[in-house]
Chain A
Amino acid sequence: MLNRLWKDFQRTAVGRSIFRVGLPASNLERAQAALSSFFLHLQPVKVHRRTLQTSSTFGLGLISLYLFIILAVTGVLLMFYYVPATEHAYNNMKDLEFVVTAGQVLRNMHRWAAHLMVIFVALHMCRVFYTAAYKPPREFNWVLGVGLFLLTLGLSFTGYLLPWDQLAYWAITVGTNIAGYAPMVGEKVKFVLLGGHSVGESALIRFYVLHVILLPSLAFVMIAVHLWRVRKDGGLARSDEPATTEEVLQQAELPHTKTYGLMELARGTTPAVGTRPEEEVFAWPHLVFREMLLFMATTALVLVTAIFWNAPLEELANAVHPPNPAKAPWYFLGLQEMVSYSAFWGGVVIPALIVTALVALPYVDRKRRGVGVWFSEERRVAIAIFTICLMAAVTLTVIGSVFRGPNWAFQVPWKPSVSVGP
């Protein structure tokens, strides 16, 4: 019945003005559908079979994107209840918990999706590294990815400041003081972030604006360019893909034994020109169906987590006493561990070096070896260096998470030291 109504609607003048092509039945219509729909045109018309294999990407980038969408939707809903004022913010959290219908689940979804996004963006980055998908012609997209990783952390940081609990207050204090250690501009940056010299109302409103408008808009644009570049750079990295324009032209000389029909006129040469048509399948339905399934699975994961576990909320911000130990969320504990040795080296120099190294990576490691292959034997050195750095980051995070007790003293997790009074 609904199906009939839908089909009748599509045949009307209005329906046809919206959907140029109905549900595609033939290959021609599948191609037309992908080209004529705004949402489908984000997909290629056809994708390589290998792109659809789970082991190629594990869908990590897509999951990150879906988490961003979930965060945007739950974030807008949270904005209906949240007031960025020091005397209201914490009470708003309590209202979400006790007054607003499903308010706690809403906040939980937002918080857990944020945590998951940090995990999945990091995993996505590891996948791209271990399959050498950052090599030419994809160097710039890797740089965009590094930017998006930093934006994810920035959005997380500005986000957990907003409830104005103890975590928020002391994270702003420590975070802006780390910024103060930066050479030359440090004190100025700190002043701009805080909107003054002390942590208070002006700091909260600044981090709120960063969190709900500035950083998300920036992330939205960068995600759009990131996805667009994936296609423009020739889709998913494959071992048999042509590397340079010259190779593209060579490969473009297709076998003469086949007949080809003109599908579309495209300007310029893209690496897609050389791909063998028989290894490609139509994005509709093969790719679109998998994407929808993954989106539903991601949403389900966030929803189930949000129903069973509550997002952390510490006590109301107290400018006199930080909690003991005062710990950041887990993803910043590696940084906190480094900062506990030296604020300048651990908080400014090492992070700056890491970002510089990540941005420089595709321009230094340019040889097209092992592209599209997991843990290629030919890239032993690069893989070893990256893995050591990754292990170091994980180790520091684990030490900061479980091996640090009150007064940031070393402790073993199975024998926690007795809490010291304030």
Chain B
Amino acid sequence: VSAICTHLGCTVNQTDKGFHCPCHGSLFDPNGAVVGGPAPRSLAWFAVSRSRDARLVIDTSQLVTSEKYMVV
């Protein structure tokens, strides 16, 4: 899940309840869905895959839904 707030691009902080933005107070649940504040969209989820040399690759150009999991 991306830590960049969909409101104005600050980095959100992880808290017990999910994610909290320090700039304008947007609140997200642990899955990145908007709970409160001015954020217009949920936090982005990026496609994660394993490269041939066994490294994790995060493709920021490929958005996925929060239900999708990487099969290891």
Residue ID in chain A nearest B25 by CB atoms: A408
Residues of A within 8 A of B11 (CB): 319-322
Contact assessment for A341 and B38 in the assembled complex, using a CB-CB cutoff below 8 Å = yes
Task: Determine which residue in B22, B37, B38 has the highest number of CB atoms from chain A within 10 A of its CB, and name it.
Answer: B22
Cβ contact within 8 Å between A343 and B23? no
Query: Nearest Cβ in chain B — how far from A57, in angstroms?
Result: 39
Query: CB distance B22 to A407 under 8 Å?
Result: yes
Asked if A326 and B23 make an inter-chain contact with CB atoms under 8 angstroms apart, the answer reads: yes
Return the chain B residue nearest A199 by Cβ.
B9
- Of A326, A342, A421, which contacts B10 at CB under 8 A? A326
Interface positions of B from 1 to 27, Cβ below 8 Å from A: 7-11, 13, 15, 20-25
Compute how far the CA of A170 lies from the CA of B21 in the bound complex, rounded to whole angstroms: 12
**Is B9 a contact of A174 with CB atoms below 8 Å?**
yes
B13 in complex: contacting residue of A177, A340, A420, CB < 8 Å: A420
A422 CB within 8 Å of chain B: yes
B30 at the interface (CB under 8 A from A): no
**Contact: B40 with A343, CB < 8 Å?**
yes
Chain A residues near B13 (CB-CB < 8 A): 321, 324, 407, 420-422
Chain B residues whose C-beta falls within 8 Å of the C-beta of A170 in the assembled complex: 10, 23
Decide yes or no whether A397 CB sits under 8 A from chain B: no
Contacting residues of chain A (164-210) with chain B, CB-CB under 8 angstroms = 170, 173-174, 177-178
What residues on B are CB-neighbors of A320 within 8 Å? 11
CB-CB nearest in chain B for A421: B13
Out of A322, A341, A409, A421, name the residue touching B23 (CB < 8 Å).
A322
Picked from A323, A407, A422, the residue with its CB within 8 Å of the CB of B25 is: A407
Is the beta-carbon distance between A322 and B22 smaller than 8 angstroms? yes
User: For the complex, is A154 an interface residue (Cβ under 8 Å from B)?
Assistant: no
Q: How far is the CA of A319 from the CA of B38 in the complex (A)?
A: 22
In chain A between 321 and 377, which residues have their CB closer than 8 angstroms to a CB of chain B?
321-326, 336, 339-343, 346-347
Per-residue interface assignment for chain A, residues 311 to 325, with 1 indicating a CB less than 8 Å from any chain B CB and 0 otherwise: 000000001111111
Given contacts A339-B8, A343-B7, contact A324 B22 (CB under 8 A): yes
The yes or no answer to A234 lying at the interface (CB within 8 A) is no
Q: With A and B bound together, what is the CA distance between A173 and B13 in angstroms?
A: 16
Chain B residues within an 8 Å CB radius of A406: 22
Q: Closest CB-CB distance, A335 to chain B, in whole Å? A: 11
Category for how many chain A residues contact B: 20 to 34
Instruction: Compute how far the CA of A342 lies from the CA of B38 in the bound complex, rounded to whole angstroms.
Output: 5
CA distance A177 to B6 in the complex (A): 10
**A340-B25, A407-B25 given; A322·B10 CB < 8 A:** yes
Does B22 lie within 8 Å of A174, measured CB to CB?
no
Chain A nearest CB: distance from B36 CB in Å? 10
Residues of B within 8 A of A321 (CB): 11, 13
How long is the Cα–Cα vector from A323 to B11 in the complex, in angstroms?
A: 10
- Beyond A339-B38, A340-B37, whether A325 also contacts B22 by CB under 8 A is yes
**CB of B27, distance to nearest CB on chain A (Å):** 8
Max chain A CB contacts within 10 Å: which of B10, B13, B21, B23? B23
Collect the chain B residues with CB atoms within 8 Å of residue A347's CB: 8
Q: Is the Cβ of A408 less than 8 Å from the Cβ of B22? A: yes
Q: Are B24 and A339 in contact (CB under 8 A)?
A: yes
Q: Which residues of B contact A343 (CB under 8 A)?
A: 7-8, 24, 38, 40
Query: When the two chains form their complex, are residues A177 and B9 in contact, meaning their CB atoms are under 8 A apart?
Result: yes
Given A324-B13, A343-B40, A420-B15, residue A407 in contact with residue B8 (CB < 8 A): no
Q: Which residues of A contact B8 (CB under 8 A)?
A: 173-174, 177-178, 339, 343, 347
Cα of A19 to Cα of B67 in the assembled complex, Å: 82
CB-CB nearest in chain B for A325: B22
Report yes or no: B25 in contact with A174, Cβ–Cβ below 8 A. no
- Residue ranges of A at the interface with B (Cβ–Cβ < 8 Å): 170, 173-174, 177-178, 319-326, 336, 339-343, 346-347, 406-409, 420-422
Residue contacts A-B, CB under 8 angstroms, 12 given: A173-B9, A174-B10, A174-B23, A177-B7, A178-B8, A322-B23, A324-B22, A326-B10, A340-B37, A343-B7, A343-B38, A420-B15
Q: Give me 13 other A-B pairs in contact (C-beta within 8 A), A322-B11, A340-B38, A343-B38 excluded.
A: A170-B10, A173-B10, A174-B10, A319-B11, A320-B11, A321-B13, A322-B22, A324-B13, A340-B24, A343-B24, A347-B8, A408-B24, A421-B13
